Amino acid sequence: MLKIHLGVCGIGYGHADRILTISKKLYEKGCTLIISSYGEGLEYLRKHGLRVYKVPAVDYGVLHEGKVSIKMTIFKNILLPIQVLKQIAYEVSIIDNGEVDLVVSDSRASTVIAAKILGKPTVTILNQFNIKIHYPKYRWIIESLESSSYIVGRIWLKSDKIVVADYPPPLTISKKNLQFPENIPKDKVEYVGPIIDTSHISDISVKTLSEKYGVGLNGKPVVLFMATGPFYERKKFIEKIYPMLKELVNEFEAVLTLGGLKLDSVDTSNLKIFEWVEDPLELIKISDIVVTRGGQTTLAKVLALGKPLVMIPIPAHAEQIGNAESIQDNGAGLVLYEEELSKTSLKKCLERILEDKTFSQRARDYSKVFNSLNPTEHVIKIIETMLTKS
């Protein structure tokens, strides 16, 4: 029986979600899986019934208003070299004791290093290669941090195969963060598309889902507000968005998902609020527009179902800003920067998308490409090919 180790980035739910999709297919193939993660990714995988080893965590810093903070990032990771060494040590132990045949890293450099120490074939899954920092101050610190991130990229390139979990060009969501060196072999990097399983909802009608959730039954356009990302960022998103929803209910049916958080003492009349949704794809399918942050996995899910977006990226979060601007450039949504966010600006974005049908048409272009790719099976074939070679 083949043994595969999956080392998963634990920041937010996105990395864990795509590994959950892959793991289901690998279990169907009869593989034994050994999984490691940390943070919310660890909790997410365990919540879905997977046995996961806990490894030391790394994270970035966020200010109380939800903005990415360079100072806080440095403070939180002042012992980062030690944390990374700990992660590598944990990974070496897990891989060695598990006697694995292949290692899969989802954006974790420590997993790649551990695999190479032990001479194991390695596949790395990622959706950003160049880590950019969007911050006007502390330029010399920014340049130092971006130089350090270059080292991470060089480590990922040590993998035998790099799988990009994003739409192929020109529809790539994270294209600003996926600039690979020109001298690497052409077959080293492969765009497979977003690793999302939509097969289970393809035959379920919108009417059936509307009745299940009590959404989309009153004839108004359904606007889904999705709180995503790490805990603190979900919390800040909800705090900013919730007060505006009451202003929208006359024209729109507002639906808010909290990503596992709770709202105390709220008036839910004329609003649909879900603390946790087991399958967000079902609500996305019902919706006419989705409003969310700029995380790549969430954006990829929404576009896989052909829904246009209003994107409110986390302030100073370069990857999210780049993702949102890329989708806006391709005409499938609008970026609403948080410093410009108000009930008036939000309403204008929603009305513009509903009035201009080209936004929905461009979003459906993403869906057509996604349906032609079958990304999960593609990843499984890459893994099987690697196992055959080894």
Give per-residue pLDDT as tens, 221-236.
Answer: 999 999 987 787 888 8
pTM to 2 decimals? 0.86
- How much is the pLDDT for 42? 96
- Kindly report the average pLDDT of the chain as a whole number: 88
- Rounded CA-CA distance 115/169 in Å is 30
E-state strands within the chain? 3-8, 32-37, 52-54, 102-106, 122-126, 161-164, 189-191, 222-226, 253-257, 272-274, 289-292, 309-311, 333-335
The domain defined by 199-371 folds into Rossmann fold (3.40.50)
Chain segment 307-352, per-residue pLDDT in tens: 999 999 988 888 899 999 999 999 999 999 999 999 999 999 999 9
- Dihedral angle over CA of 221, 223, 224, 226, nearest 10: 170
Between 109-117 and 139-156, two packed helices, what is the crossing angle to 10 degrees?
Answer: 40
Closest CA relative to residue 308, chosen from 290, 295, 320, 294: 290
Closest CA relative to residue 232, chosen from 109, 69, 82: 69
Q: How confident is the model at residue 83 (pLDDT cuts 50, 70, 90)?
A: confident
Q: How confident is the model at residue 356 (pLDDT cuts 50, 70, 90)?
A: very high
- How much is the pLDDT for 62? 46
In the chain, domain spans: 3-196+373-389, 199-371
Cα-to-chain-centroid distance, residue 338: 19
Between 343-355 and 231-245, two packed helices, what is the crossing angle to 10 degrees?
Answer: 80
Residue 113 burial (C-beta neighbours within 10 Å; 0-12, 13-18, 19+): buried
For domain 3-196+373-389, which architecture applies?
3-Layer(aba) Sandwich (3.40)
Fold matches, 3-196+373-389 and 199-371: yes
Residues 246-259 as b/e (b if ≥16 CB within 10 A, e otherwise) read eebeeebbbbbbbb
Is residue 23 within a helix (H) or strand (E), and if so which, with residue range?
helix 14-28
Report strand pairing: 52-54 vs 122-126.
unpaired
